[in-house]
Amino acid sequence: MSELGCCFADQKEKGEMWGALFMADAIRMDLRDLGAEAWLLWQPDWEVIGFDAHGGPPLLKKQYYVLAQYSRFVRPGFQIVSAGGASNTLAAYSPASKRLVLVTTSWEAGEDDLDLTAFAGLPATVTAYRTTSDAQTNLREERIALSSERHIVNASPARSITTYVVDGVTARSDVPVDKIQGVHKLVSQATRLCLNVAANATSSGTAIIPFSCGAYSNEEFNVVDRGGGFYSIHTVNALAGLCLNISNGTTSPGDGRTRGGPGNLIQWSCGDGRLPENEFSGSRPRRPAPTASR
């Protein structure tokens, strides 16, 4: 990846921390989801470093520190691994240095809950580095104690980026590689809203809608391996045997507005032949990795 920057003069939200979070999300998606092997900064003078035309000292901006949240810790030779259900986290591991790095972007205040049980040799504490919208909080170092279940559990403020560094660990060979399976929230990267079963209904045909994450318990779905790289997504709010599906079996996109309308998401009896197969394809991670909830 060799060309990304923020922000244009007419961009509605172009505050310094907004641009930093934009960069953080872009780096994560480029490395994790698109498989970029290198990430190159385009123009450092575009809201990353402020240069004084009269020769004064450069001004390091929030995008500079956010870039460092990745580049100082995810070094050449690290392998990008699955972060499980943590859609806002990049996970990278170096077998040579036995170091696991987790970079988490937080647009809203919440609690990171990162399950590290796929690794052996876990320390009692990990080091965290955090950049926030506060002018003085840039790569601030903290020590975080692991929970008794070997999780990182840590409150994260709104509009912040946190890098967790876990040293001395090795990937366990006895942990299943497939971390796609399991109960997850499904989060839109664009809106940061979670898929939700409308009105917590349990009947077939109920619409699946985007809604504020954490508002209700009906925002979790069980991803089940169907073999051959395909998975079904089961609703877990109340009634067993319902899966995400496309209303009316149409192959055309829905309008995104009409609940339960043709082409929009609904919950339907799993495997019902009247609608398309309620399965999606997915690639399996190459080696064990942490899982997370948010």
Cα–Cα–Cα angle for 182, 187, 191, rounded to 5 degrees:
180
Q: What are the pLDDT digits (tens) for 164-203?
A: 999 999 998 876 655 566 777 888 877 878 899 988 888 8
The partner residues of 269 in beta bridges, in order of sequence, read: 242
Say how many domains are in the chain. 2
Which of 256, 252, 248, 263 lies closest to 204, judged by CA? 248
Q: What are the pLDDT digits (tens) for 79-98?
A: 998 887 677 899 999 999 99
Sign of CA dihedral 251, 255, 257, 261: negative
d(CA 214, CA 267): 20
Residue 21 has pLDDT above 60, yes or no: yes
Both 55 and 79 in a single domain?
yes
For residue 56, tell me if it sits in a domain.
Answer: yes
C-beta separation of 200 from 184 below 8 A: no
H/E segment holding residue 16: helix 16-28
Both 216 and 130 in a single domain?
no
For residue 9, tell me if it sits in a domain.
Answer: no
For residue 30, tell me if it sits in a domain.
Answer: yes
CATH of the domain at 68: 2.60.40.1180
Q: What are the pLDDT digits (tens) for 233-279?
A: 888 876 678 888 888 877 788 888 888 888 889 998 887 555 666 77
**Of 175, 198, 227, the domain-final residue:** 175
Max alpha carbon distance in the chain (Å)?
Answer: 71
**Of 175, 198, 213, the domain-final residue:** 175
Burial of 121 (0-12, 13-18, 19+ CB in 10 A): exposed
Q: What are the pLDDT digits (tens) for 43-83?
A: 887 888 988 889 899 999 999 999 999 999 999 999 998 88
C-beta separation of 59 from 49 below 8 A: yes
d(CA 80, CA 37): 10
Q: Please tell me the predicted confidence (pLDDT) of residue 241.
A: 81
Q: What are the φ and ψ backbone dihedral angles of 63, each rounded to 5 degrees? A: -65, -30
d(CA 225, CA 261): 28
For residue 293, tell me if it sits in a domain.
Answer: no
How many Cβ atoms are within 10 Å of 176's Cβ, its own excluded? 10
For residue 291, tell me if it sits in a domain.
Answer: no
Q: Please tell me the predicted confidence (pLDDT) of residue 284.
A: 45
For residue 39, tell me if it sits in a domain.
Answer: yes
d(CA 217, CA 293): 13
Both 194 and 156 in a single domain?
no
Q: Please tell me the predicted confidence (pLDDT) of residue 285.
A: 42
Both 233 and 116 in a single domain?
no
Both 150 and 50 in a single domain?
yes
Residue with tokens 């036995």: 98
**Of 175, 203, 220, the domain-final residue:** 175
Provide the terminal-to-terminal Cα distance of the chain, rounded to the nearest Å. 28
- Listing from the earlier edge strand, what are the strands of the sheet with 110-115? 151-156, 110-115, 291-293
Alpha helices in 182-232 (DSSP H): none
Both 238 and 194 in a single domain?
yes
Q: What are the pLDDT digits (tens) for 104-117?
A: 999 888 888 898 99
Per-chain mean pLDDT for the chain: 84
Q: Please tell me the predicted confidence (pLDDT) of residue 130.
A: 97
For residue 277, tell me if it sits in a domain.
Answer: yes
Both 79 and 131 in a single domain?
yes
In this prediction, residue 293 has a pLDDT band, given cuts at 50, 70 and 90, of very low
Q: Please tell me the predicted confidence (pLDDT) of residue 190.
A: 73
Region for 200 from its dihedrals, namely left if φ exceeds 0, alpha if ψ lies in -120 to 50, beta otherwise: left
For residue 289, tell me if it sits in a domain.
Answer: no
H/E segment holding residue 267: strand 265-269
CATH of the domain at 193: 2.80.10.50
- Listing from the earlier edge strand, what are the strands of the sheet with 89-94? 79-81, 89-94, 99-106, 160-167, 125-132, 140-145
Both 46 and 167 in a single domain?
yes
| From 125-129, 236-240, 264-268, 280-284, the region with the lowest mean pLDDT | 280-284
Q: 154 lies in which domain range?
A: 16-175
Residue 12 has pLDDT above 90, yes or no: no
Both 29 and 145 in a single domain?
yes
Both 217 and 137 in a single domain?
no
C-beta separation of 69 from 103 below 8 A: yes
pTM value > 0.75:
no
